[in-house]
């Protein structure tokens, strides 16, 4: 496995260049992508943490990581890059994102699909996960970043 540290959530599929406020690739907000190299380590950790929380929420509703050690070994063996400090559910996402078309037995990776997803093809599940992850990121942006009432509340009224 590459010893290279993952330094950014970017996955090389940026949609903010087309006007999206939330990237369909990495799920970061436009301003986070633009300012990433200016961010302190603390600011970067905050972005990474939000993405992790949202992704774990999506993943835990679709599968269970029943053996994180097996999952980690498989990722390392197959040279799938992942962030070791993140939740094993984020590792599971990296596995499915990179191997959905070639994995035949997901349980061999320490993962079990929830009953309602056991008949799904992994590529379809990956698309559903990406879609839900994007929708949650977009909802977070709309709820906490974009609202006018937050800016209006800061105006001085005479």
Classify residue 19 by its DSSP letter: T
Instruction: Indicate left, alpha or beta for 39 from its phi (over 0: left) and psi (-120 to 50: alpha).
Output: beta
Using one digit for the tens of pLDDT, what is the confidence trace for 61-90?
A: 999 999 999 999 999 999 999 999 999 999
Per-residue pLDDT for the chain (158 aa), expressed as one digit of tens each? Answer: 444 567 889 887 787 777 788 999 999 999 999 999 999 999 999 999 999 999 999 999 999 999 999 999 999 999 999 999 999 999 999 999 999 999 999 999 999 999 999 999 999 999 999 999 999 999 999 998 887 655 565 555 44
In the prediction, which pLDDT does 149 show?
58
pLDDT for the residue numbered 153: 56
Q: Which tokens go with 80? A: 């799938």
Cα(28)–Cα(14) distance, rounded to whole angstroms? 10
For the chain, what is the radius of gyration of the CA atoms? 18
A 10 A CB-CB count for 76 gives 13
- Provide DSSP, 130-146: HHHHHHHHHHHIIIIIS
């Amino acid at each position: 496995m590459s010893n290279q540290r993952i330094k950014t959530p970017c996955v090389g599929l940026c949609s903010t260049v087309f006007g999206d406020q939330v990237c369909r690739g990495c799920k970061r907000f436009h301003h986070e992508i633009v300012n990433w190299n200016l961010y302190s380590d603390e600011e970067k950790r905050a972005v990474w943490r939000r993405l992790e929380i949202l992704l774990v929420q999506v993943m835990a509703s679709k599968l269970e990581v029943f053996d994180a050690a097996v999952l980690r070994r498989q990722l390392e063996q197959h040279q799938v890059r992942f962030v070791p400090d993140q939740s094993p559910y984020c590792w599971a996402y990296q596995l499915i994102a990179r191997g959905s078309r070639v994995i035949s037995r997901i349980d061999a990776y320490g993962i079990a699909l929830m009953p309602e997803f056991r008949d799904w093809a992994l590529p379809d599940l990956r698309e559903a996960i990406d879609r839900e992850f994007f929708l949650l990121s977009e909802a977070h942006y709309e709820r906490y970043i974009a609202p006018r009432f937050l800016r209006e509340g800061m105006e001085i009224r005479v």
